[in-house]
Amino acid sequence: MELRIASSSGALLRPAFSPIAGLRPRPSPSLQIQNHIYSMPNLRHKAHAAVGCQAVVATKYMETPEIVDLDWENLGFGLVDTDFMYMAKCGLDGNFSKGEMVPFGPIALSPSAGVLNYGQGLFEGLKAYRKADGSVLLFRPEENAIRMINGSDRMCMPAPTMEQFVDAVKQTVLANKRWVPPTDKGSLYIRPLLIGSGAILGLAPAPEYTFLIYVSPVGNYFKEGLAPINLIIEDNFHRAAPGGTGGVKTIGNYASVLKAQRTAKEKGYSDVLYLDAVHNKYLEEVSSCNIFVVKGNTISTPAIEGTILPGITRKSIIKVAESKGYKVEERPVSVDELLDADEVFCTGTAVVVSPVGSITYLGKRVEYDGNQGVGVVSQQLYTSLTSLQMGHTEDQMGWTMQLN
């Protein structure tokens, strides 16, 4: 069943195309979602002026290959314009509309939108993987829904229900299925956004909210891949403080780390590790990753107490590590423990597991030994989790969701 779009003239309405290096211009795709026809009444087209949004003269999209022609071997962690995105609105009644698939592209916002003026916004990140049989797997989307619901309460925003969130993710992935990389060549990164799109001048919750999901095929977040990264501990700037929003995935948490991160990268480091804002001695997290410290058979990670994002990969790695016999402790972890560790690694949706090759603190550099810098524990946990995510091994945790 192909996607059909309202038009009185029968003209082909195609998603906007933005040239990308290494990407061939794409024909318009067919869209198959649970055998339902999806219309797009809010597409702007001159034909609408004559017939209105209710016109139903179908235009058929061309059939396209199952997978787009990309240089999958050199796919980095950057934006690739795909075909469709999901959008739903919520007004003062607190209820989200039935979402729809629209062509990927710019969205219109008032200059007085709550997200632009007061930062009222949240985002999530999760991935879809292609199995060897061509089917697609999602990894724990309900956890992302729960985190968005919890975060929206802190940011005074309505949130889509878990059911709508998961259904919207499914729709968006299926609409862009041809962009899911081949097995072992990467993943489809999924970015749900919840923003205060309504116009507001005084400091107050926005009168309207937009729930939007777009996707992009990605490779490794760090250019090193599963190779050691080099971190520097930041002792001047802090990422979050008790009572703030460090524990929710609000957009403002990320702009504040850019200055320290840029300075670190200019000095040759991969990223920055932050300390707590009270004692300036306990580990918090890397710019967008959680941190783990290994000593013997014990794996320690900072406890979730309001200043650290409750990462879904973090949560998953803890369970995988415990299933393999490791003792996992969630507690305050000091810099001294970090510098004396056998092994250190980071976790996150984008990186999955990223081994740390060195830590630099107050001018002192500590290096961690391993097989070419990759520790035994990091390698074991990375292999176990990614094999489950990609469908290479049986999912005994019940974490994956097969779409077709």
Give catalytic residues, as residue numbers: 249
Residue whose C-alpha is closest to residue 309's, from 151, 105, 88, 172? 151
Residue whose C-alpha is closest to residue 220's, from 229, 208, 233? 229
Distance CA 14, CA 105 (A): 11
Per-residue exposure over 29-48, b if at least 16 CB sit within 10 Å of its own CB, e if not: bebebeeeebbbeebebebb
> CA 365, 369, 370, 376 torsion: positive or negative?
negative
Compute the 3-state secondary structure of the chain and give helix, strand, coil in percent, each to the nearest 5.
20, 25, 50
Distance CA 382, CA 376 (A): 10
For 2, half-sphere exposure in the C-beta direction (CA atoms, 13 angstrom radius) is: 12
CB 358 within 8 A of CB 264: no
Per-residue exposure over 201-214, b if at least 16 CB sit within 10 Å of its own CB, e if not: eeeebbebbbbbbb
DSSP 250: B
CB 136 within 8 A of CB 403: yes
* DSSP output for 166-177: HHHHHHHHHHTG
Residue whose C-alpha is closest to residue 386's, from 345, 344, 347, 342? 347
For residue 16, CA distances in Å to 28, 50, 188, 266, 304 come to 10, 23, 20, 36, 42
Distance CA 388, CA 227 (A): 20
In this structure, which long-range contacts are made by residues 395-399, counting pairs with CB atoms below 8 Å and at least 24 apart in sequence? 397/316, 397/319, 397/320, 399/139, 399/140, 399/316
List the structure tokens of 250: 């609000």
